[in-house]
Amino acid sequence: QTVVTQEPSFSVSPGGTVTLTCALSSGSVSTSYYPSWYQQTPGQAPRTLIFSTNTRSSGVPDRFSGSILGNKAALTITGAQADDESDYYCVLYMGSGIWVFGGGTKLTVL
């Protein structure tokens, strides 16, 4: 069974930079998994941030960026703001119509 792992929590200071990662239980994450990232605040639906590894969705500020770092997908927030405090989820496309979400990272900005 494929497991996608994210840091359960992370903290960043306002104005700081943070990189959240998304790893596979077996193997490396590559662009072939079409990693995408979603932001969710409590009680709200997810919001699409990044798709196809590093493409920002419409309206997403350029302080959000996606990449492959080593064997993981990564979401970097540069110049974090208070309203970036949210849960962040990655999802990987495993092929054959199957997606797997990571467990999510709760980001605190303080």
Partner 1 sequence: EVQLLESGGGLVQPGGSLRLSCAASGFTFSNYFMSWVRQAPGKGLEWVSVISGGGSSTYYADSVKGRFTISRDNSKNTLYLQINSLRAEDTAVYYCAKRAADGLKYFDYWGQGTLVTVSS
Residues at the contact surface with partner 1, assessed by CB under 8 A: 1, 34, 36, 38, 40, 45-48, 51-52, 57, 87, 89, 91, 93, 96-104
Task: Report, in Å, the least distance between residue 15 CB and partner 1.
Answer: 28
Task: Report, in Å, the least distance between residue 78 CB and partner 1.
Answer: 22
Closer residue to partner 1 in complex, CB, 10/15: 10
- Find the largest Cα–Cα distance for the chain: 41
Task: Report, in Å, the least distance between residue 13 CB and partner 1.
Answer: 25
- Is the Cβ–Cβ distance between 38 and 49 less than 8 Å? yes
Which has the closest alpha carbon to 90: 103, 77, 80? 103
- Is the Cβ–Cβ distance between 6 and 21 less than 8 Å? yes
**What one-letter code names the amino acid at 93?**
Y
Closer residue to partner 1 in complex, CB, 72/102: 102
